[in-house]
Structure 1
């Protein structure tokens, strides 16, 4: 029998009660799959910070600082098992990249060394874990990781490996010049563009920025709706939280490097600002956004919230967004997100991996995971963004 919105609301309310009961149980280490757990016991309540400080991005209560939360999650990543045993896939790449960015902005050489040591066996006895090159967007995204290691170490092995992925991604562009991996799913916009942006950061070759900007503009034209948000795909008219998060992060990462004089800059900045304006309207009083952004009956979700926080922090710090409007929203999102960090440095209430389906209940009833790299990564990105000058 097809679920109605009323029956869904009842079901979700019952699920929320189960989550509240489960939150009193201790969390398991690693990528435990479950519901929310209590945050660190030594944290001060976020209400302890003054209203004036909430208007900025510098002051957070004990336990909520980007230094503390980022360090805890990055160190936890170092000892985490691979996401899959047979290959490195994009959620692990995202958390690895976030850990490296956090280590970079905090000048934590010991952490960089640990993250490098996790990667180096891929050149030898664990080479089977390397994903296929350029055959699918989820695999190609791996190239962003060795490029980050090259930027940090200047070891040419990482550059050569990363550029293999970046260049093969554009080996057979279509008639518009888009990568052959283009399928117009909302999350792909980040997966594709971050590899090209990283290739630009590593080489300063403008062709990589041109590719990323062309792709971003095409995805904007195809998927952004009049309210500024994005459908998961043209045939799936739902504003999925993490899907929109991928797009927000993708635009913010690209705009960090795209010159204002670039022919696609104005289009991407306009799309970014339109989206962020809409997001302000849907943010909850707890600082969170929901699994389906425009559905009050949906549950507060951490990975999308972390991604939106990153996009807002980056926009405020670069002057693309109005400080007085967006800094308080970013502050609330960060403190809300860190409140979902359990005593084992696992982010809770992370939406499970999600394919696309034209079904409301499919999105509303997605399972909540604890410690999933989809959720660990955005917290790390945002911690680094908060600390980045």
Structure 2
């Protein structure tokens, strides 16, 4: 089965289940735009634009941690960058300016807006902020946005890095002042990997931020690689062999690896077999015949209570995977698009 067809059908499944509007929905629209771009499918691109045109006036909005979600977030900025929605320029600029003034901790990392005095930071923010500002900066010719895009991901990577294994913790100050969560959560590492992938994919060759982006991208790639399961997936708690395999983090990781292979940053002999194994694993174990999804962790920000809050035990036992979990669709779509870009044109649906 063609990976781009699979990505499109995944989006249709998502839209059938629920209105596409939350942050994980915006990631799915981003995946839809990339699918349309790779297929050179004008009708599919029109569908993406039509969805984005509903933001903000024709959407019933949930509570957002990031106001940019109200206008369509990452996919709206990407559509502007690609020239598909020039009418979005004022919106994208307005919310890029808002990001430049959002609450930050003492080190300058964008923090939880509702309790700024507690300086709560979490790696999910890297995906919320960096691609949006990067696309906005490149589209609008504003280096301030590009500078802040790179700065936020670099600062989060440095703060949340576990130097003992090269993987990322999810958060700090959520389980107590000065405390990092103990995890190496699959989707959390994916949230840190995707923005690095976008930086190495789109930063101009002469950008002063490119050397560090490439260095951190390669380092996280190298840290992730040894933990791939025999079925090609990464686990909810990445280095813990008894943890369940998790599809949304795997999708984000494979998207990044696909980008790295195409950009020539990852050694093809080393990473291509892992990439192909992972894409086959997603197809066989994470996507059903009706394009429902499996093995995705639900919302997971420093789970647990009391002494167990933010522990590995809490990440593994309190957030169990479920069918059609809504975080799954965007990452799977992005991975499938990268599969096609890397020359994988047909996938078996069997293990």
8 Å Cα contact 2:110-2:125 kept in structure 1: no
Q: Deviations over 1:289-342 (max 9, x none)?
A: 111001111001101111111111110110111011001101111110111201
Equivalenced residues, count: 319
Match of 1:26 in 2: none
Counterparts of 2:240 and 2:234, CA distance in 1:
10
Alignment of structure 1 residues 81-160 onto 2, 5 Å: 81-82=18-19, 88-122=21-55, 124=57, 126-129=58-61, 136=66, 139=69, 142-152=72-82, 154-160=84-90
Give the drift of 1:108. Answer: 1.1
Alignment of structure 1 residues 1-389 onto 2, 5 Å: 63=1, 65-82=2-19, 88-122=21-55, 124=57, 126-129=58-61, 136=66, 139=69, 142-152=72-82, 154-172=84-102, 179=110, 183-226=120-163, 227-234=165-172, 235-339=180-284, 340-356=286-302, 357-365=309-317, 366-388=319-341
Name stretches of at least 5 consecutive residues in structure 2 with no aligned partner: 113-118, 173-179, 303-308, 343-351
8 Å Cα contact 1:78-1:114 kept in structure 2: no
Counterparts of 2:59 and 2:8, CA distance in 1:
28
Match of 2:346 in 1: none
8 Å Cα contact 2:186-2:234 kept in structure 1: yes
Counterparts of 1:337 and 1:387, CA distance in 2:
14
Name stretches of at least 5 consecutive residues in structure 1 with no aligned partner: 1-62
Counterparts of 2:184 and 2:81, CA distance in 1:
35
Q: So what's the TM-score if we normalise by structure 2?
A: 0.82
User: Equivalent residue of 2:121, what SS?
Assistant: coil
Q: So what's the TM-score if we normalise by structure 1?
A: 0.75
Counterparts of 2:143 and 2:39, CA distance in 1:
28
8 Å Cα contact 1:66-1:386 kept in structure 2: yes
Counterparts of 1:90 and 1:160, CA distance in 2:
21
Give the drift of 1:148. Answer: 2.7
Q: Deviations over 1:253-310 (max 9, x none)?
A: 1111223443333222222211111212111111011110011110011011111111
Counterparts of 2:107 and 2:229, CA distance in 1:
40
RMSD: 2.5
**Quick check: 303-312 or 166-175, which moved more?**
166-175
Counterparts of 1:137 and 1:228, CA distance in 2:
32
8 Å Cα contact 1:89-1:138 kept in structure 2: no
User: Equivalent residue of 1:382, what SS?
Assistant: helix
